A and B are shown apart, each in its own frame.
Chain A
Amino acid sequence: MDVLNHKFTPETWPEHPERATLEAKNKFVGFWLFLGGETILFATLFATYLALRNSGPDGFEHTTQSLYDLKLVLVMTLLLLTSSLTSVYAVYHMRNFNFKKMQIWMSITALLGTGFLMVEVYEFVHYVGLGFTFGSSAFASAFFTLVGTHGLHVAVGLVWITLLIWRNAKRGLNLYNATKYYTFSLYWHFIDVVWVFIFTVVYLMGVIG
């Protein structure tokens, strides 16, 4: 039977719709492999940051202890962590075959992610205003590369979920898009995981010195 046009009901919707077809299973495994690769990518950026966080030209004025504002970082962390929870809600509704609620919770996820990005942009603009730019010191380059790459991943995720919500608005939930929403959810959790490391290694360890 043709899975794309089959009309499911809450009683016939598979228990794990994101892995119900062979294509879905392949996408599922493939995406986890991609996340394994992203782990290595961020590991290299973390390595560079850790090695260079106290380096710069003689007399470079901005150090990890003096620069970071922990209140802002806490706000960003809570925003991203909550957006992870809302995406869990969305997947829960997806598994319950409730398309409308899933779209709503995914939209809330996107809004919280946008909030996070706005605060991060504000932080970067503030640093540049202080004279702490990408070329200021080795520490600066490493910081902006690491945190900037994470921010870029968040931005890509936001574009992705916006497209998903928009393009599937009239289609409803079926086995074609179930795995796409689930994959996005995995991606979003992963960038939250990376943010946990960032706020620990960059900001908290930076303040401790």
Chain B
Amino acid sequence: MAEIQVTKRTPAQQQLNRKRGKEGMRNQIMMFSLMIFLTLCSFGMVVAYQNDVLGMSGYFVLPMVLLIAAVLVGLQFYYFMHMAEEEHGIPQFFMYTGMILGGLVPLAMLTIVWW
């Protein structure tokens, strides 16, 4: 097993850590509430479209719903999965590459499959 340095935090440092942790958690809960709100918006728009309420047209609802999904995914990656924190350069690199390629594959299938 690797050797590591063990440092003991002073009470003041410990308190600061706890405070930062609590703020971080409050941030996470705000992000979660935002995600729930956006999810409900998505569903609400589609149900409104289904029931012809508010004159929603498919041309508006579809891109909006996809945009909301993209935002939701961004929030998940950056906040829940800590991709916004430091030392996440390699994960970011590989995930963005995966997303680009992952966007190309459906595009290809949508183009070449017509039956």
Contact = CB atoms under 8 A, between A and B. Distances in A.
Interface of A: 1-4, 6, 8-12, 14-15, 19-23, 29, 32-33, 35-37, 39-40, 42-44, 46-48, 50-52, 55, 70, 73-74, 77-78, 81, 84-85, 88-89, 92, 95-96, 175, 186, 189-190, 192-193, 196-197, 200-201, 204-205, 207-209
A39 B99 contact: yes
Contacts of A11: 8-9, 11, 14
Contact of A32 (B2, B9, B91, B99): B91
A48 B3 CA distance: 48
Interface residues of B, number: 60
B78 to A, nearest CB: 11
B6 A35 contact: no
Contacts of A43: 98, 101-103, 105-106
B109 A48 contact: yes
Given A1-B6, A189-B81, A196 B61 contact: no
Contacts of A96: 18, 21
Contact of B90 (A12, A29, A52): A29
B113 A3 contact: no
A35 B91 CA distance: 9
Given A192-B76, A193-B77, 6 more contacts: A4-B1, A47-B109, A51-B113, A81-B36, A196-B76, A208-B58
Contacts of B6: 1, 6, 8, 12, 14
Chain B interface mostly: helix
B53 interface: no
Contact of A208 (B21, B29, B61, B80): B61
Contacts of B17: 15
Contact of B1 (A12, A21, A81, A201): A21
Nearest to B35: A81
A209 B14 contact: no
Contacts of A21: 1-2, 4
Contacts of A208: 46, 49, 58, 61-62, 65
A120 to B, nearest CB: 17
25 contacts: A2-B1, A3-B3, A11-B11, A11-B14, A12-B8, A12-B9, A21-B1, A33-B94, A42-B102, A43-B98, A44-B105, A52-B113, A70-B46, A77-B39, A186-B81, A189-B76, A189-B77, A190-B81, A196-B76, A200-B65, A204-B43, A205-B65, A207-B49, A207-B50, A208-B61
B73 interface: yes
B110 A47 contact: yes
Given A70-B47, A200-B42, A23 B2 contact: yes
